[in-house]
């Protein structure tokens, strides 16, 4: 672990080297130089989108996990119509590009449903719907990986289907699907940048706006890359810690 942390630190230092070493004639790192008032203001503006990125991603993931579980359970039913519903939902949702779904939710859903929706909830709904199909497959695979003997044993002691899932199957399945769920959180953080296209003030949108005013895309987008890199590294380490805490890490 110490080696991995040291490697991450060295990578960040290499990425920030141009910023630290200053400015040639073709470089404009002054726009993000923390030693100047202008640089501090720009950096503060860029980092200000971090909260929206995290909140958007977490809300979308929580909704997609619940929706994914609700979609996964019919896929495990003996009723072929319920299984049909599961397959149709998963295939249809996965077939729609996220950007297209995002635009439809923001511009089309208010007209179709006669409702008003802001950019934040449009982003949450689109991200959650898109991710729910993948979550459904993760849950289905995790539940199916539990030995059938567990279900049979639960029935012999009088547990119904709901209690069997709640007390026997899902607790074991969640431990197994935690790594892919963690990967989905990382994935969600990255694809949340697409919500910038409808005006959501997250990391990417703020970087785009600053590029328009400062005309320094290389320097500003470099900072954006570093922001996402640090965020993803922190979240990845947190997911690994949670895996070990719950005993889902096969290496022990």
Helices (H) and strands (E) in the chain, counts: 12, 0
pLDDT tens digits along 177-194:
888 888 899 999 999 999
Residue 207's nearest CA partner among 16, 99, 22, 50 is 50
- Rounded-to-10 torsion of CA 188, 190, 192, 198: -150
CB-based contacts of 208, cutoff 8 Å, min separation 6: 196
**What are the tokens at 5?**
């942390």
**Is the predicted pLDDT of residue 251 greater than 60, yes or no?**
no
pLDDT tens digits along 84-126:
999 999 999 999 999 999 999 999 999 999 999 999 999 999 9
Give a yes or no: residue 31 inside a domain.
no
Give a yes or no: residue 60 inside a domain.
yes
Over the chain, what is the mean pLDDT?
A: 85
Q: What CATH number did the domain enclosing 152 receive?
A: 1.10.3720.10
- Domain extent for 177: 55-200
In three-state secondary structure terms, 120 is helix
pTM of structure:
0.82
Q: Which pLDDT belongs to residue 28?
A: 78
The answer to whether the beta carbons of residues 90 and 137 sit under 8 Å apart is: yes
pLDDT tens digits along 41-79:
999 999 999 999 999 999 999 999 999 999 998 988 888
Write b or e for each residue in 99-123: b if 16 or more Cβ atoms lie within 10 A of its Cβ, otherwise e: eebbbebbeeeeeeeeeebebbebb
Distance between CA atoms of 86 and 213, rounded to whole angstroms?
Answer: 48
Task: Work out the pLDDT band at 10, boundaries 50, 70, 90.
Answer: low
**What are the tokens at 72?**
């996964």
- The number of folded domains in the chain is 1
Give a yes or no: residue 44 inside a domain.
no
Give a yes or no: residue 132 inside a domain.
yes
Give a yes or no: residue 238 inside a domain.
no
Give a yes or no: residue 33 inside a domain.
no
Distance between CA atoms of 15 and 225, rounded to whole angstroms?
Answer: 9
The answer to whether the beta carbons of residues 238 and 244 sit under 8 Å apart is: no
Give a yes or no: residue 150 inside a domain.
yes
Give a yes or no: residue 189 inside a domain.
yes
Residue 42's nearest CA partner among 250, 244, 236, 224 is 224
CB-based contacts of 71, cutoff 8 Å, min separation 6: 86, 89, 90, 132, 133, 135, 136
Q: Which pLDDT belongs to residue 192?
A: 94
CB-based contacts of 80, cutoff 8 Å, min separation 6: none
Q: Which pLDDT belongs to residue 1?
A: 44
């Amino acid at each position: 672990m110490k080696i991995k942390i040291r490697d991450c630190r060295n990578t960040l230092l290499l990425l920030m080297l141009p910023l630290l070493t200053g400015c040639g004639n073709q470089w404009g790192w002054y726009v993000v130089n923390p030693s100047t008032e202008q640089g501090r203001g720009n950096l503060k503006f860029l980092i200000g989108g971090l909260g929206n990125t995290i909140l958007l991603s977490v809300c979308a993931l929580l909704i997609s996990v619940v929706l994914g579980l609700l979609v996964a359970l019919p896929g495990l039913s003996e009723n072929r119509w319920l299984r049909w519903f599961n397959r149709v939902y998963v295939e249809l949702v996965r077939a729609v590009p996220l950007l297209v779904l995002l635009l439809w939710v923001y511009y089309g859903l208010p007209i179709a449903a006669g409702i008003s929706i802001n950019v934040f909830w449009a982003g949450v709904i689109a991200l959650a719907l898109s991710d729910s199909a993948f979550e459904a497959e993760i849950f289905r695979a995790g539940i199916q990986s539990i030995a059938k003997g567990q279900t049979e044993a639960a029935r012999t002691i009088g547990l119904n289907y709901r209690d069997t899932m709640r007390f026997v199957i899902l607790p074991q399945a969640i431990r197994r699907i935690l790594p892919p769920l963690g990967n989905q959180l990382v994935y969600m953080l990255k694809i949340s940048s697409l919500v910038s296209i409808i005006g959501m003030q997250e990391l990417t949108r703020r970087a785009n706006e600053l590029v328009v005013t400062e005309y320094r895309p290389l320097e500003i987008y470099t900072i954006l890359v570093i922001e996402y890199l640090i965020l993803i590294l922190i979240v990845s380490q947190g997911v690994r810690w949670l895996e070990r805490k719950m005993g889902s890490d096969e290496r022990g």
